[in-house]
Amino acid sequence: PSFIPEVLARIRDIERQNPTPEPVDEAQALLNGTWSLVATYSVKGGKIAGGGAGARDGPLAALQALSDVVYETLYKNNKWSWLAGGMNSAGTEAARSFQNIDVDRKEILNIVEFSGGRITVTGSIEREDPSTLGVIFESSTIEISGPFGGGSLVVKVPLPRPKGFVETTFLDSDMRISRGSRSNLFVTVRAKS
């Protein structure tokens, strides 16, 4: 849509006013908690363009490359972007996404709730630098509610431990803006309890 460049320019203006430039080192209590995704955009820039964090060689390089392809196909394709809490192809909200960060426990949890179920991805985090957390996603659970005798179908999906990072570029008590290793920009607000 034609309004996206203007939105991205306004987000950059907000990022320049970041009151918490080193959240990983100085504001972990502010960074911790559950964040609700408001908007996400695919943008150029970030610390590592076009891929996950870390070396691109060794025995896990093929799995990382596969993870990158799957991510790009599902996340950036308009038909599947709702998996990240974005809009569906009809332009309506198809899902709600949350991210829970616990720096002390070194844990991250991504949750996508959609009509009839939810997807949960768990991972571990570690400090990369004062504004950036390295992320390794470890497992995923798909839960589908429905006609299963009143219960849910739950499928645990092991992941090839894809690596990435998330850099927090704006943080206050209510809003967090971050940029991921796969050229994505995330605007989140603190979830209401």
pLDDT digits (tens, 9 = 90+) for 35-45: 999 888 888 65
The confidence band for 170, taking pLDDT boundaries of 50, 70 and 90, is very high
Residues 6+ apart with CB under 8 A from 22: 130, 131
158 or 68, higher pLDDT: 158
Annotate 155-167 with three-state secondary structure. Answer: EEEECCCCEEEEE
> In angstroms, what CA-CA distances link 149 with 19, 29, 73, 118, 119?
51, 42, 34, 18, 21
Write the burial class of residue 2 (CB in 10 Å: 0-12 exposed, 13-18 middle, 19+ buried): exposed
> CA-CA distance, 53 to 124, in Å (whole number)?
14
Mean pLDDT of 153-169: 87
| Whether the model pTM is above 0.85 | no
DSSP conformation class of 131: T
Question: How much is the pLDDT for 1?
Answer: 64
pLDDT-derived band at 32, boundaries 50, 70, 90: very high
